[in-house]
Each structure stands twice: as structure tokens, then as C-alpha cells.
């Protein structure tokens, strides 16, 4: 899925959100989650580094998907 096929950033976000709510995406994300769990279990000495990376990815995803709501909230503060 390219930016041109999606027809803009908002359409791209909607396409990603729709795909993430599908059954295939849930299966893939479950496998990734289990894989991350196994990786953390085998590398417990690096848990802080792994935790910061996971938190960064989660926060980045939340900001990406929440950008329209965050921008509306930010604009309302300064009106």
C-alpha cells in the first residue's frame, strides 16, 4: 500500500487502521507479540533497552493514529 494508492495521509491512516482491525493483522500482531516476549525472556539482561524501544514504538503509533485529534485539541487550547 503506497501513499499514492491511499490518496493522502488521512486515507493512509484510515487504511492502516482498517487493516489493523482485520483478523489477519490480529494474528500477525499476536505472533509478533509472542516473538518479542520470547526475545525479552532470552535477553533479560537488556530488558531496559528493549522496554524503551517498545515504549517508543507504541508512543509513535499512538501519535501517528491520534494526530488529527491531538491537533484539534492543540488548536482549541490556543483559540
pTM score of the predicted model: 0.47
Would you state the pLDDT for residue 7?
64
Neighbours of 24 (CB within 10 A): 9
d(CA 15, CA 64): 13
Q: How many folded domains does the chain comprise?
A: 1
Domain that holds residue 39: 3-77
Helix, strand, or coil (residue 6): helix
Using an 8 Å Cβ cutoff, are 6 and 15 in contact? yes
d(CA 59, CA 54): 9
pLDDT tens sequence for the chain (79 residues):
555 554 676 777 777 778 777 788 788 888 888 888 888 888 888 888 888 988 998 888 777 777 777 777 777 887 7
Amino acid at each position: 500500500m503506497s501513499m499514492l494508492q491511499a490518496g493522502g495521509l488521512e486515507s493512509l491512516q484510515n487504511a492502516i487502521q482498517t487493516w489493523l482491525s482485520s483478523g489477519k493483522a490480529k494474528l500477525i500482531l499476536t505472533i509478533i507479540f509472542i516473538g518479542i516476549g520470547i526475545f525479552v525472556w532470552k535477553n533479560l539482561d537488556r530488558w531496559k533497552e528493549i522496554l524503551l524501544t517498545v515504549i517508543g514504538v507504541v508512543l509513535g503509533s499512538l501519535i501517528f493514529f491520534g494526530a488529527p485529534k491531538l491537533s484539534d485539541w492543540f488548536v482549541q487550547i490556543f483559540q
